[in-house]
Chain A
Amino acid sequence: MPKNPRPTSRLSRRELIAGTVGAVATAPLAAQQQAVETTRRPGRGPNGLDQRSPFVTPRRDPSPTSSRTPLQDLQGTITPADLHFERHHGGVPEIDPDRYELLVHGMVDRPTIFTLADLKRFPAVSRICFLECSGNLRRGSAETLPQMVCGLTSQTEWTGVMLSTVLHEVGAHEGATWFLAEGQDAAVMTRSVPMDKAYDDAMIVYAQNGDALMPGNGYPARLLLPGWEGNASVKWLRRIELSDRPFMTREETSRYSEPVGEEGQIRQFSFVMDARSIITEPAYPTTLEPGWHEIRGLAWSGRGLITRVEVSVDGGASWADAELQAPVLPKAHVRFRHSWRWKGGPAEIMSRATDETGYVQPTWEALRAARGPRTRYHQNPVTSWTVGDDGRVLFGVERLRS
């Protein structure tokens, strides 16, 4: 291959001088200059732990109790472990894996203590699924990022042992109908979980995207209940107790329950996350140029497969099917995309997910009509982004105001 770095270099310098005359030429010229500059000096050598480019700075949005995944900064469906949302009730404990143990007792033949190494010796299973906090909706203002609308959901390839395998090991009694999962954080988080879920698809996981769990996600081991509200997937799992009744802990009575109807009823043990979607781009704070854009977003259902995502660009007057990126996995985020030509003028873009049970993501009005005005968890309404004449994209907060 002929090499002629010098002429290229001279060309670059000439254009640099020419470029200073007109600002319009600056950006392409800077790119051309850089394309050569980086070839003129050796880059860094191999290192022990890579990190993002200094020009790439996605950040979770932390509050005193949670931090939200920057959905607008991500592509595909897997959430980088350090951007997975966090929600915890007593801070993140620092746990030495060599002194970590899991106690399984109650209605079992053999109350047993497992070390982390014990858990890892069991047959391992990997599964891609989403986690979502059931308090995952902020209505905020028009100037709201996707991260703030519903950034309390993330997706991971988890690896661990099926809980059913562990239950077989300890000899779970047939009469057991619930188990208590308890964390070793300062909240000593506890939730009761039906045994049906234990035998269906519950796992004890110790790996997140191939690596050890991040501390904020339960290092060294956590419960994983695919498709269920995140709080029940108890982190820093120290104890499992089998029983023939639920334990009625604070987090399944006064919290993570929701008023429904007009007669003061409170819905309890509402575990499953219903189907939902959100458009992650274009979204606030983007300003659109007229022309072709790809509407992109995520859809998921705790009841299984997403079968359809529809997109509207006219505020719901008409809908078109978006493309779903294969593979579509059950209880997992699926990426949807839809090409759209914005010709200028006001628009309102929105998405609507349908799952394999035939459930269609409801409007805010439909949710309120079904549950009454005081509902607080499991709010999964269709949300929208409005596009102004000037191309400015804002969160469609008016749709969530009734």
Chain B
Amino acid sequence: MRAVRSTVIGLSTVWLLATAAGAAAQPAESARFGFGRPATETEIAALDIDVGADGAGLPAGRGQATDGALVWARSCAVCHGASGEGGTAGPVVGRGHGRPTVGSYWPYATTLWDYINRAMPRNRPGTLSADDVYGLVAWILAKNEIVGDTDVMDAETLPAVVMPARDQFVPDDRRGGPEVR
């Protein structure tokens, strides 16, 4: 705690000096208010949990469907059903039109990782390990017949998974005006 705090102060001082030097050279810089304090790498890392569609941000770890099955039964089945068919929460398995499931509707497998990691399970979000999340993602993808039962999901393989719905997504073309879109 103490070490972290002194680091912050140290960086802050450097930043203020740099700002003062910059202000003299660049008048535009003087329009800043100087509010807030510099964020340290540690502080950023503590909150920067998002995972990009290209896999950026995926942590170390790995899992396959058999690992995920155990986590699913323990943490997910109560709401999403034993086989992912849905219950009090929506289904995660299925390809049919009109069912917005992973198999029919999700464009990126990495989004599964990001979402489960940040928000699931509903009653204890943020408590799953990276391996748990990789295993769950592998189980859900296998149930949807997008990967094989023994495929290992990790920071390398997950971004390479091509989801069935990937090419269905189109930008919003509504622009106002008389035409209904």
Contacts and interface: CB of A to CB of B under 8 A. Distances in A.
A169 B35 contact: yes
Interface stretch (B59-67, B141-149, B170-178): B170-178
A113 B97 CA distance: 45
A266 B167 CA distance: 9
Given A112-B39, A168-B31, A266-B170, A248 B47 contact: no
A89 interface: yes
A110 B38 contact: yes
A254 B33 contact: no
B139 interface: no
B146 to A, nearest CB: 14
A250 B174 contact: no
Contacts of B174: 270, 272, 274
Contacts of A266: 105, 107, 165, 168-170
Interface string A259-273: 010001111111110
Interface string A95-122: 0000000011100001111110010011
A188 B119 contact: yes
A105 B180 CA distance: 39
A253 B32 CA distance: 36
A239 interface: yes
Contacts of B115: 249-250
A265 B33 contact: no
A248 B35 contact: no
B170 A260 contact: yes
A74 to B, nearest CB: 28
A35 interface: no
Nearest to B53: A248
A118 B172 contact: no
Contacts of B15: 110
B36 A249 contact: no
B50 A357 contact: no
Interface residues of A, number: 60
Contacts of A112: 36-39
B148 to A, nearest CB: 23
B180 A267 contact: no
B38 A358 contact: no
A370 B47 contact: no
A113 B37 contact: yes
B156 interface: no
Given A248-B110, A268-B169, 16 more contacts: A103-B39, A113-B43, A118-B36, A121-B35, A169-B36, A188-B118, A241-B48, A249-B114, A250-B114, A254-B102, A266-B168, A269-B171, A270-B172, A272-B176, A303-B176, A359-B177
A253 B106 contact: yes
B35 A118 contact: yes
A342 interface: no
8 contacts: A89-B119, A112-B39, A169-B33, A182-B47, A253-B107, A253-B111, A265-B169, A371-B181
Nearest to B123: A186
Contact of B44 (A111, A186, A254, A271): A111
A77 interface: no
Given A114-B36, A359-B177, A367-B180, A241 B50 contact: yes
A255 B107 CA distance: 11
Contact of A248 (B44, B111, B176): B111
A254 B111 contact: yes
B81 interface: no
B181 A370 contact: yes
Contacts of A118: 35-36
A293 interface: no
